[in-house]
Amino acid sequence: MSEIRHVSTEPPAGGPVRLERHGRVALLLIDNPPVNATSREVRAGLLERFETLARDAGCDLVVLAGAGRNFVAGADIREFGKPLAEPQSPDVIRAIEAAPQPVIAAIHGAALGGGLELALGCDLRLATSDATFGLPEIGLGFIPGNGGTQRLPRLAGLPAAIDLVTSGRRVGAGEALRLGLVDRVVEGDVVAAALALAADAAVVKRRVRDLPVPPATAEAITAAEAAARRKLATMPWIDEALRVVGLARTLPIDAALAEERAVFQRLRVSEPAFALRHLFFAERTAGKVDGLDAAPRPIERTAVIGGGLMGGGIAYVMLTAGLTVRLVERDAASLTGALQRLEALFDRAVARGRSSVAERQRCSASLSSTVDLDAVAEADLVIEAVVEDLEVKRAVFAALGKIARPGAILASNTSYLDLEALAEASGRPADFCGVHFFSPAHVQRLVEVVRTADTADDVLATGLALARRLGKVAVVARAAPGFIGNALFSDYRQACEFLVEDGAAPEEVDAALEAFGFAMGPFRVFDLAGLDIAWRARQAQGGRAPGLRYSTLADRLCEAGRFGQKTGAGWYRYPDGGRRPAPDPEVAALIARTAAANGIVRRPIAADEIVSRALAAMLNRAALLLEEGIALRPGDIDVVLVNGYGFPRQKGGAVFWASRQDRRAIEAAVDAHCRKMDKSFRRGDIGSLLQAVAAAG
């Protein structure tokens, strides 16, 4: 990526906005590491500089640029949860537009959020070919508040503005040029190119605010609005974004800007905005471990053992990240099937425009396949993704310990099984870690990087570096049954099964939790994932713990061959092999028989009780995970639940959500959950959990 370094003509005490004079041209350089965020100091510096230059008869042109690797990658998000300090960004943009000189934005790296809005306030925009642009505010629970909803339509047209504002997607310099966001794409030093325009008589004041909104067909506008509204269920503030962008056609710009700012100010302190900011910072912290300063081991040659749905997905993401992959299967038939699944993933990516034919060819050239385990001998990293059976996996690692080269990392994708036992079987426990991808691995963002008691620091560092290279969100966990995610999910599953035994129907539990905001209700999830996976894990762990309440319902379904959607029946039935679940009278009868045999008098259960009990189970386990050191931070738990288990993103995760509720109500719900389990069931310290959230800010 391009990087701009200019030596200031002023001492560092001049602040984060430096002024350089190049004859009759003024260069304003924003230097606020690491990303040049528009903090209060930056805003004040810009405003002061523009007010000074407005009185400078010796200045004919102003160039605005960013130092380091970016133009301006957005605002300081930490400011958004409290009153914004003066001056605010609209004040700066008004000063730019009021400047007597033309102002050129010289853009390299990222121009995002407030950074793009700052550039839209300039008269001309030059960009390097690697620059990126976007308005990501919608993903943080609010809308652009510095003119983005009004200036963008005047350059790109209303359909494109609707798309960019409501999707938050980034565009490269080429697309930005086609849309009209930038006037010119240059190679090399964009600041030098902007300074060279001083002698160009065609460079004049051209305020974006004065431009008309280009005409667009009703069909194009309707299509853009319809695409945005498809996300309303999880992002209801999109309605406000659509309304405000539409004001570009119907209101004078000053009135529209005032309404945009009012909506921005209201939404930035809404509950979803607080929740999404919590996740924003939690995701950036999740892959960090205090005191871990080991350098990652170099990884280029990898091997994946097992080419099923998980193994194939893992191989796919490693290939697309530029790694070489050797795929190993147990026999020729299994290998053929694995390669066909991989081909289907690449076909789909090319058909949907997410990959090019050339990229697919590059990935194909980086893939080799075999049924010979000895072929992994030169790999830097080997990831095991075979059937979820402890003895099968132990045998694989016992062999890998002898085959893999010295210093190679051995990793397991197991979701439940004993990593310490697998590390021991390898004979190389320091080189071993868990790298738990979530299904489907090529879609889900989450990876749990799991350290055993013997995992070397540089092995852990390598697992985290690998996750980042694959574009994943990494969370560190300590080896324990289910790690973070499946430990939480197991307790959630139990609570939902108890709700069914106590009187709710599976479809009622699903409806209540989907209304709360889950992407999918638990029983639909169980059927989609396959009931047999958790069943085998329970068998491996010895099944029922003595003295604790245990529901046998899921075990009975598995014993009847009802593994979920893939067998046409699980908690629901799936008529004619379809994907749409239908309530099953056989399951209702099984539930009634089981409850009666256990002396449970079933009763109607309201939706609010369903939600309370399900989340209480999660929260109690979350507290225990922190107390036991399996999870490092409360935010890590929320990152796992949101990115791996469909917890509503706009609620910030279970721990953050609980921190915004009445403390006594949460404590009472957890107490009730623990009593339903058994008197000896361990209760987590919910007070300490919620205090840890508050301390994290």
Catalytic residues: 415, 436, 448, 486
Q: Is 339 within 8 Å of 327 (Cβ atoms)? A: yes
Q: Which segments of 629-690 are extended strands (E)?
A: none
Residues 6+ apart with CB under 8 A from 509: 496, 499, 500, 521, 522, 523, 610, 614
Q: Which residues contact 461 (CB under 8 A, 6 or more apart)?
A: 292, 294, 295, 296, 297
Helices 40-53 and 89-98, axial angle in degrees (round to 10) = 20
Candidates 672, 658, 676, 632; CA nearest to 287 is 632
* Six-digit token string for 113: 């959020």
- Nearest in space to 74 (alpha carbons), one of 173, 140, 18, 160: 140
Task: Give the closest residue to 142 by CA, choosing from 284, 277, 281.
Answer: 277
CB 107 within 8 A of CB 184: no
Instruction: Count CB neighbours of 515 within 10 A.
Output: 12
Q: Is 273 helix (H, G, I), strand (E, B) or coil?
A: helix
Rounded to whole angstroms, the Cα distance separating 237 from 647 reads 18
Q: Which two structure tokens, joined as six digits, stand for 674?
A: 């623990």
Which residues, in sequence order, are CB contacts of 126 under 8 Å at separation 6+?
104, 105, 106, 107, 182, 183, 184, 185, 186, 190, 193, 194
* Torsion sign across C-alpha atoms 630, 631, 632, 633: negative
Residues 6+ apart with CB under 8 A from 579: 565
Beta carbons within 8 Å of 633's beta carbon, 6+ residues apart: 282, 285, 286, 626, 692, 696
Q: Are 73 and 36 in contact (CB under 8 A)?
A: yes
Q: What gap in Å lies between CA 155 and CA 140, rounded to an integer? A: 24
